[in-house]
A and B are shown apart, each in its own frame.
Chain A
Amino acid sequence: MIAEFGQVSLILALVLAVLLATLPLYGAYRGSDTLMRLAPSLVIGHFVFLAAAYVALSVAFLNHDFSIANVALNSNLLLPWYYRLTAVWGSHEGSLLLWMLMLGGWMLAVVAFSRTLPREFLTRLLSVMGIVSIGFLLFTLLTSNPFDRILPGPTDGQDLNPLLQDPGMIVHPPLLYMGYVGFAVAFGFAIAGLLGGKVERDWVRWARPWTLAAWSFLTAGIALGSWWAYYELGWGGWWFWDPVENASFIPWLVGTALLHSQAVTEKRGSFPAWTVLLSIAAFSMSLLGTFLVRSGVLTSVHAFAHDPDRGLFILIFMAVITGAALLLYALRAPRIMTGPGFDWMSRETMLLINNVFFAVSAAMVLLGTLYPLLVEFMGWGQISVGPPYFGAMFILLMTPIVILLPLGPFTRWKQDEVMRLLRPLAASAAVAIVLGLIISAALGAWNLRAITGWIGGIWVMAGAVAWAVRQWRGTRSGLALHQWGMTLAHFGVGVFLIGVAMVESMTFERDMRIAPGQTVEAAGYEFTLHEVAQVKGPNWRAEEARFTVNRNDREVARMNPQKRLYHRGGQVMTQVALRPGITRDLYIAMGEELDPASGAWSIRIHIKPFVRWIWGGAALMTLGGLISAGDRRYWRRRRAESRRADTAEVPA
């Protein structure tokens, strides 16, 4: 019953989405208030049915309803209840359901928080999002129905992939999807703006908090994914430039460019067409990411099951959505006004340069990810593009960003002088160089990457702080929320930079052979293996190595890495032992038993300096984005503005 209930809910959600995409839009076109008024109610109904479908699947998982194929394949009787709940999004079908629930949630939020938008605009925005929802609902119902039955159902299910039986995996996909789907709001704003042909400055201001929120979720989602890969895959890496990672990184890069271009468009009215294009691109890249992950077009470590039919569907969907949006852009964008002038040295130029580098970086990652396809398409053979390419190119493209970042906020709009900038930042630069050299020397990290990482990181952090301090002194009221947010996010970039530089240049990593009773030395730490014991979990058993770690004859940690065998699927997984720290992580992964007689095992020890700073920096960026999104200036006085927007037509 529960499956049919879910199924019907999905179909009803589809019906409402179709109504939402047509009636109110027509109403906005004809100026019919009655039809436009339908939109908010339809959005609410749409969300309710999506939520009902989602709850239905969750209940099926909780109740072990193995007659539903999706449950049978991704859960079993031994799986603890909390993983049964998260198993809902462990599969392709279930994760789509979560995706749609979030889209419905974002639409609901738009209705809740944007009541003061001009009605026509709000209607168009919701209708555009309704169109997006239709695509995903059709996709789910036609190619990936989570409620498909297998009758008679098996008595027990398979298993949720053990890699997903982990707290990090509980939150990673939802956050990532929040980010992807959130860009649909920015997309909706852009299309509604193009459809309406109204003054862009207003809708860009309204779109900003939504874009900031989506970007923050995406940042957090990517960071969590990286953290999860770090401790769960057992390779100790934090970023692999795998196609699936790139699929989430491209929208992030475009989204970052979008945030900064929105700032110019909102404040000065410049580059509106570019902002529209980036809004379309950010969401299109999210769709492309979905396609890459779910179609099996690219070989990746963490792709969903191959299915060319699904791939084809997303491709058609993407062609329709993005194609229509770009066509609309081509038709309408020239009418968009250009805004006032500015000088070489100005905030506008700075943000333009920011956009150049972020957009080119996004293009680079896209090119690298798809290049193997292109080579094959041209019949030039088979090649791989991997971390060495992306790493080198990315450093090349991001170095100017790091150098210029602290200058941006200091620069005045319209016109500024170089000397005015250099004075406050000279101190930051001096601090960065001196402190960077001292710290690198003190840590023994005397190599180019570590030194430039420290200098660059401190330069960015000091620049952010210097700006906040000056702003604080200059204005009585202190910093506005969005200024706090920006400072925090920029500071986070510095933290991130230091983490990356230290991990990439100073990681200790070695595969060793060790028997119980033996001690091995690694970068000043002594690892002693006491025993390898058998332990049991709810749905697995494991061999667990018991280590103590000493430094200067003092015990600093006890670490117990495991090698688990999951009963149901028979998969063997390494469970690494981690001792996190602000300046270093200790990390042990078990390999194989090498010699049963002596009980010797192969193990891998990593010592990762400052690795937490990578995710710490990302956390600061996330927080900064969310704080900015909460600034009242994006939300208040909307009524007055919306009246203005109604009357102000575009100069032809």
Chain B
Amino acid sequence: MTSVQGSMRFQGSGFRVQGWLRSALMVFAGLLLSGLVAASAIEPFPFDDEVQEQRFRSLAEEIRCTVCQNQSLADSDAPLAQDLRRQLFAMLQDGRSDMEIRMFMVDRYGDFVLYRPPLAGHTILLWGGPIVLLLIALGSTIVIVRRRRKVL
């Protein structure tokens, strides 16, 4: 029974209880509905200090759980998320840097796991788009006000 809760909780407000079981997600149903793997997002890790705990939390929050609908490692109680949290903790204990840990995840699961997409060719529009748009909008504002001043 234990991990039914796993599945239900990361369905979030699973309006899709029915549709979900029938859907392509059936693939993971086996994993999620299995009764053998107890899982929970709530796990007390023996951190060395507060700094480490803080790093753990912020990393877990910006790494996406691949099997869940849209959840970070910190929020998910899927078995894989549990394993990945354990791995994350072990790497912190190992003294690895945040960057190394992110790379570790990306190497295995792809860019998809990063909630903060790296600045690269294919994300230039994402990061730059709003800035460019803002500049255009502010530029237009200047043009508009100038024009309107003339008819003052």
Contact = CB atoms under 8 A, between A and B. Distances in A.
Given A90-B15, A307-B19, A511-B44, A301 B130 contact: no
A360 B15 contact: no
A572 B70 contact: no
A302 B42 contact: no
Given A387-B61, A572-B8, A161 B15 contact: yes
A389 B131 CA distance: 13
Contacts of A197: none
Contacts of B16: 303-306
Contact of A305 (B1, B19, B41): B19
Contacts of B134: 356-357, 360, 397
A356 B64 contact: no
Contact of B15 (A91, A162, A240, A509): A91
Contacts of A569: 8, 17
Interface centre among A235, A237, A270, A300 (most CB of B within 10 A): A235
A509 B61 CA distance: 13
B115 A161 contact: no
Interface in A589-613: 589-592, 602-604
Interface string B2-40: 101100111111111111100100000000000000111
Contact of B115 (A243, A380, A386): A386
Contacts of A17: none
Contacts of B110: 381-382
A340 interface: yes
Interface residues of A, number: 81
B151 interface: yes
A385 B127 CA distance: 11
B51 interface: no
A73 interface: yes
A389 B148 contact: no
B99 interface: no
Interface stretch (A362-370, A524-532, A579-587): A362-370
Nearest to B15: A304
A571 B151 contact: no
A353 interface: yes
Interface string A177-199: 00000000000000000000000
Interface centre among B110, B123, B126 (most CB of A within 10 A): B126
Interface string B39-82: 11111110000000100010001101000011110110000000
Nearest to B10: A301
A359 B70 CA distance: 26
Contact of B5 (A169, A572, A602): A572
Contacts of A348: 148
Interface string B109-126: 011111111000011011
A239 to B, nearest CB: 13
Contacts of A512: 44
A371 interface: yes
B150 interface: yes
Contact of B122 (A356, A381, A571): A381
A288 to B, nearest CB: 18
Contacts of A511: 42-45
Nearest to A90: B15
Contact of A591 (B42, B45, B125): B42
A570 B126 contact: no
A554 to B, nearest CB: 26
B5 A158 contact: no
A388 B8 contact: no
B12 A233 contact: yes
Contacts, number: 202
Contact of B53 (A510, A574, A589): A510
Interface string A480-503: 000000000000000000000000
A161 B14 CA distance: 7
B111 A382 contact: yes
Contact of B8 (A164, A375, A571, A589): A571
Nearest to A571: B8
Among A162, A360, A604, the one with the most B-chain Cβ atoms within 10 Å of its Cβ is A360
A3 B43 CA distance: 48
Q: Identify which of A300, A342, A592 gathers the most chain B CB atoms within 10 Å of its CB.
A: A592
A359 B137 contact: yes
A452 interface: no
A349 interface: yes
Contacts of B45: 511
A571 B130 contact: no
Given A342-B145, A364-B130, A92 B72 contact: no
A604 B122 contact: no
A484 to B, nearest CB: 30
A337 to B, nearest CB: 12
A73 B53 CA distance: 43
B71 A384 contact: no
A341 to B, nearest CB: 4
Contacts of B148: 270, 341-342, 348
A291 B89 CA distance: 39
Contacts of A591: 40-43
A446 interface: no
Nearest to A159: B17
A128 B110 CA distance: 47
B17 A592 contact: no
A393 interface: yes
A383 interface: yes
Nearest to A163: B13
A301 B70 contact: yes
Given A302-B15, A305-B18, A360-B137, A344 B149 contact: yes
Interface string A346-361: 0011001100110110
A539 to B, nearest CB: 15
A509 B58 CA distance: 12
Contacts of A573: 5, 8-9
B87 interface: no
A385 B114 CA distance: 8
Contact of A301 (B4, B13, B38, B61): B13
A602 B42 CA distance: 6
A571 to B, nearest CB: 4
* A-B interface, 5 closest residue pairs, ranked by CB to CB distance from nearest: A386-B115, A305-B19, A591-B42, A572-B5, A301-B12
Given A233-B9, A388-B115, 7 more contacts: A73-B18, A305-B18, A363-B133, A389-B116, A415-B152, A591-B42, A604-B42
25 contacts: A162-B8, A163-B13, A164-B15, A243-B70, A301-B70, A301-B71, A304-B19, A305-B15, A305-B18, A305-B23, A306-B23, A340-B151, A341-B152, A343-B145, A343-B152, A375-B122, A375-B123, A382-B112, A383-B123, A384-B113, A386-B64, A570-B4, A591-B40, A591-B42, A592-B40
